Amino acid sequence: MMLKIKRKRGSVKPLRQTVERRGVEKTKKESGVSGRGNHRLYRFNTDLAFANELRHLVLKLSPPAFAHIEKALKKIGRLKLAVLTGVFLSLENSRVDVLVAGDDIDFKKFNNFVKQLETQFGAELRYVALGVEEFLYRYDMMDRFVFDILEAPHKKLINRLGIK
C-alpha cells in the first residue's frame, strides 16, 4: 500500500523515523504533479501483526477522494450506476468493491482504472461491470447478488437509474 503524506517540512520527521524502524520502508521520492513539489511515498510490510489496523487507520485519516474516482469513472463509458463499497468503506465482508452499470463501457479503460485503484489502495479489488439492461433485469428480479451489494453500506457515485 502506498501512502502519500502531505506535511510541513520537519513536522512529522520524528514520527516517520519511528514508523520506519517498526517496519515501514521508505521507497522513493517523487516529483509532484504540475510542479507542486516533491512527495515521499512509503509502503509498509503487510506481514506485520498490525498491518490491517494501520491500513484502516490510514483509510480513516485520508478517505478515498470520491470526486476523483467519479471523474475517472465518467471517462470509462456512459455509466448509469456506479457503487463503491468494501475496501472504500473499510468493510471486510462485502461481495464486491465496485459495481458499475452502463452502456458502451470501454473495458480496457475500466481495467486500467481498477489497476490504478488497486495500486492506490494496496489491495486486489473485486468488481463487476454490467450492461444497463442486465442490471435492471437483475434488480427487477430481486437478484440476491445485486441486493446484497445495495443493502450493505455503500456509496453511489453515479445514480442515473434512480436506485434507492
Mean pLDDT of 107-126: 91
The full set of domain ranges for the chain reads 2-61, 66-159
pLDDT for the residue numbered 34: 47
Mean pLDDT of all residues in the chain?
82
Instruction: Choose between 13 and 93: higher pLDDT.
Output: 93
Reported as a single tens digit per residue, the pLDDT across 35-48 is 455 666 666 677 77
CATH architecture of 66-159: 2-Layer Sandwich (3.30)
According to DSSP, the residues that pair with 78 across neighbouring strands are: 103
Residue 146 above 90 pLDDT?
yes
Q: Where are the alpha helices (DSSP H) in the chain?
A: 13-21, 51-61, 66-74, 107-121, 132-140, 144-151
Query: What are the strands of the beta sheet with 38-44, ordered from one edge?
Result: 2-4, 38-44, 24-31
pTM of the predicted structure, to 2 decimals: 0.67
